[in-house]
Amino acid sequence: MATRVDKVAIPQNSLARDIAVVVVIKLQVVIAAAVFVFGPKQRLRVDAGSIERRFSGASEIAPITRTPVP
């Protein structure tokens, strides 16, 4: 049962507090992942030069060379 103080219910068990702490920690992990994994430095750079290279067929990745099998 919750006690009422100035029309705000305060839970007497710590389950609600524990759930709130876990949710806050999860939000912090998700935000950190968004910044470090999907941040601006990890995004492709799109400018006129990169678009021209893409349309002209120039590859930024070295082609795979195969050695003949003896």
Q: Is residue 19 part of a domain?
A: yes
For the stretch 16-48, pLDDT in tens is 888 888 999 999 999 998 888 887 777 777 888
Question: In terms of pTM, does the model score above 0.75?
Answer: no
Q: Which amino acid is at 5?
A: V
Q: Is residue 44 part of a domain?
A: yes
Q: Is residue 63 part of a domain?
A: no
**Cα torsion angle, 6, 7, 12, 14, sign:** negative
Per-residue pLDDT, 29: 95
Quick check: 2 pLDDT over 70?
Answer: no
Per-residue pLDDT, 60: 58
Q: Is residue 18 part of a domain?
A: yes
For the chain, report the end-to-end CA distance as a whole number of angstroms.
Answer: 81
68: left (phi over 0), alpha (psi -120 to 50) or beta: beta
The number of distinct structural domains making up the chain is 1
